[in-house]
Every structure is written in C-alpha cells, then in structure tokens.
C-alpha cells in the first residue's frame, strides 16, 4: 500500500524548514511521497491577513521543483470552505481508499489537537508524525502528551527527528518588512518570486 505524508500549512511563505521537515519525515518513515497542501482558509487565522492562495501555491510549486517525491496538493482548495484537518482526511480517505496517509505536524499542535475539529476522526484516519522541537510545554512533557492521546484515541503517533531550523514564516515576513535578508531561509526561486511580486512589504 502506498503511504503518503501530508504536510499542510499556510506556507506564507514556504521556507527551508518546511522542506527539511518533509525530507526527514519521508526518509525516516519510508514514505512514498510528500504532499504539501496549502491551506486556503486556515480556521486558526481568520483574524489575520493571509496572502492570496494562488501566490502561496505558486511559491510551494517553486520550492519543491527540485524534489522528486514532493508534490503540491490543491485538495483543500478544490474542496472549498474551512480547511479542517478532519474533513480533509475524511475526503482523502473516500477519494483514495488505497493510500495510507500520515499527517505531519509540529509538536505544539500535539498539545492543541483536542481543540481541533473532530480530533477523534484525525486519529482514526492517519498516522501522526510529530516534528520534535527544542521546547516542551511547561504543564506536560511531550512524551506524556503522546501517551495520553494514544490511550484516549488509540492514536498512532511517531516522532520525526530532524535538525531544527530556527525560522518561521512570520519571522520571514517581518524581515521582508524591515528590508532584511531572507536568502538563507527560503529557496532561491521563492526568494525571486517574493521580490518580483513585492510580497510582505
């Protein structure tokens, strides 16, 4: 059975940290492909201004042009509406019953996932691959949280070991506004696209 890793995100913009995470997940868990799935309407960012979907999707396409096993997926955008992970995974299972999906997330999301829309559906439809971070929440260690979720939801949770890239999309946008250099944080083609379209000014 083919196994595909899903890395969703706003990707505003996509950066080298996203690509390194995807690469390590694929190698560590022997995934056949990684689908990078830009979120058209992130439920958690309704108050914030997000760059037009077509622009963000194009940056993803440019970023993965040198990665043979990476593909951009417009699945959430084609579905329309709020891009809840549970709904996306359910629709993917219906459309691709022959594929096993792994959902890649950051460690911070593991603490927040019970506040997401229908977390029990997420755990029932995908293996969860968690990016290890240097920090842990004060109230509960990561290992304790994963044990709790495994017991409550029979969740399949694994951890991705990868060298942390100390950058975020928000920091990149801030650097752009301050006329700082982002050349070491994004692929060259993405950098050129950002400059060409005067993004994040």
> Which two tokens mark 114?
């019970």
For 187, the 3-state DSSP assignment is coil
Q: Smallest Cα–Cα separation from 92: which of 130, 126, 53, 128?
A: 126
Q: What is the pLDDT of residue 165?
A: 78
Q: What is the pLDDT of residue 141?
A: 74
Residue 89 included in any domain: yes
CA 157 distance to own-chain centroid: 16
Residue 30 included in any domain: yes
Residue 24 included in any domain: yes
Q: Show Cβ contacts of residue 73 under 8 Å, excluding neighbours closer than 6 positions.
A: 6, 35, 36, 37
Range of the domain at 14: 2-166
Residue 122 included in any domain: yes
H helix or E strand, kind and range, residue 121: helix 119-125
Residue 9 included in any domain: yes
What is the domain count for the chain? Answer: 1
Q: How many CB atoms lie within 10 A of CB 31?
A: 22
Residue 55 included in any domain: yes
Q: What is the pLDDT of residue 137?
A: 46
Residue 179 included in any domain: no
What CATH number should be reported for the domain holding residue 63? 3.40.50.620
Residue-wise pLDDT tens digits, 51-76: 999 999 999 999 999 999 999 999 99
H helix or E strand, kind and range, residue 149: helix 142-153
Flag residues of the chain having pLDDT under 70: 42-47, 133-140
Residue 200 included in any domain: no
Q: Smallest Cα–Cα separation from 169: which of 189, 194, 142?
A: 194
Q: What is the pLDDT of residue 139?
A: 41
């Amino acid at each position: 059975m083919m196994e595909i890793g899903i890395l969703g995100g706003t990707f505003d913009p996509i950066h080298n940290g996203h690509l390194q995470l995807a690469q390590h997940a694929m190698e560590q868990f022997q995934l056949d492909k990684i689908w990078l799935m830009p979120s058209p309407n992130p439920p958690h960012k309704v108050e914030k201004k997000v760059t037009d979907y077509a622009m963000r999707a194009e940056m993803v396409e440019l970023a993965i042009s040198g990665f043979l096993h990476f593909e951009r997926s417009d699945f959430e955008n084609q579905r329309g509406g709020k891009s809840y992970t549970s709904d996306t995974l359910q629709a993917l299972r219906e459309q691709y019953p022959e594929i096993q999906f792994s959902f890649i997330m950051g460690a911070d999301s593991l603490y927040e996932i019970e506040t997401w829309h229908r977390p029990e559906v997420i755990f029932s439809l995908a293996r969860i691959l968690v990016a290890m971070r240097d920090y842990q929440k004060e109230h509960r260690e990561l290992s304790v949280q994963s044990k709790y979720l495994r017991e409550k939801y029979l969740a399949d949770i694994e951890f991705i070991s990868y060298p942390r890239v100390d950058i975020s999309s928000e920091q990149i946008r801030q650097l752009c506004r301050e006329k700082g250099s982002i050349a070491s944080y994004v692929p060259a083609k993405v950098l050129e696209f950002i400059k060409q379209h005067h993004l994040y000014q």
